[in-house]
Amino acid sequence: GAVVSQHPSWVICKSGTSVKIECRSLDFQATTMFWYRQFPKQSLMLMATSNEGSKATYEQGVEKDKFLINHASLTLSTLTVTSAHPEDSSFYICSAEIAGGFYEQYFGPGTRLTVT
Amino acid sequence: QQQVKQSPQSLIVQKGGISIINCAYENTAFDYFPWYQQFPGKGPALLIAIRPDVSEKKEGRFTISFNKSAKQFSLHIMDSQPGDSATYFCAAADKTSGSRLTFGEGTQLTVNP
């Protein structure tokens, strides 16, 4: 149980285009989902917190107009990287908190984004 | 930002040995302390977690020891195996920040055969 999927697992796009990453909780409902970014050999950096049906809360320094987050249902959140540039290349990971699970978060497998 | 300091940065252990990773925190409001295991190119996987009302929690070969007065917690991996070679992250959360996790810097564990 407690499986989170992400799609796609890797994506290559040209500079200036937009990319959408999906995060789904497969076997539980998630009232809150989180989006992280991770650079090689570094820890996870929280980008934003999203709650179903409401606007995402972005961490300081994260451009909300560049990283659009939509939490459409209790099992789906999407991250859209708009007008991507090479510096946006990174490993993006989502996590989902089990509804009523008291902080228990499960992570997706991650999406490797490369912007050329 | 509230910090969680993790050590060591890297650790090499022989097969069958005990791996010990330590974390220290500052925020006394933290009330949830999970450990995650991450393999290269994969997302972190929840290993084990503890809440401050207990001093130790064991699940299989993995044990968390928690010292509330010292504001420290540690992960012990007994009978370490080459398959345990991965990066381990400690984290902490508190009610005032919702369920946002504050992560340690990570420990690269290598278990030699």
Distance CA B20, CA B34 (A): 15
The encoded tokens of residue B23 equal 């974390």
With CB atoms and an 8 Å threshold, state whether A97 touches B101. no
Residue B58's alpha-carbon distances to B50, B61, B101, in angstroms, are: 10, 7, 22
Q: Residue A10 and residue B100: Cα distance in Å, rounded?
A: 26
Pick from A8, A7, A16: which is nearest to A82 by CA? Answer: A16
The pLDDT value given to residue B2:
58
Residue identified by tokens 């992960």 is: B75
pLDDT tens digits for B36-62?
Answer: 999 999 999 999 999 989 999 999 999
Residue contact B32–A43, C-beta within 8 A:
no
Question: Is the pLDDT confidence value at A101 over 80?
Answer: no
Report the C-alpha gap between B88 and B90 in whole angstroms.
7
Substitution target from A24, A34, A43 for chain B, most B beta carbons within 10 A: A43
Q: How far off is chain B from A15, nearest CA to CA, in Å?
A: 23
What chain A residue is nearest to B105 in terms of C-alpha separation? A43
Contacts with A93 from chain B: Cβ below 8 Å: 43-44
| Structure confidence by residue, pLDDT tens digits, A23-40 | 999 999 988 999 999 999
pLDDT band at A58 (very low <50, low <70, confident <90, very high): very high
Nearest-CA distance A103 → chain B (Å): 5
- Structure confidence at residue A53 (pLDDT): 81
Residue A101's alpha-carbon distances to A35, A105, A106, B96, in angstroms, are 18, 8, 11, 16
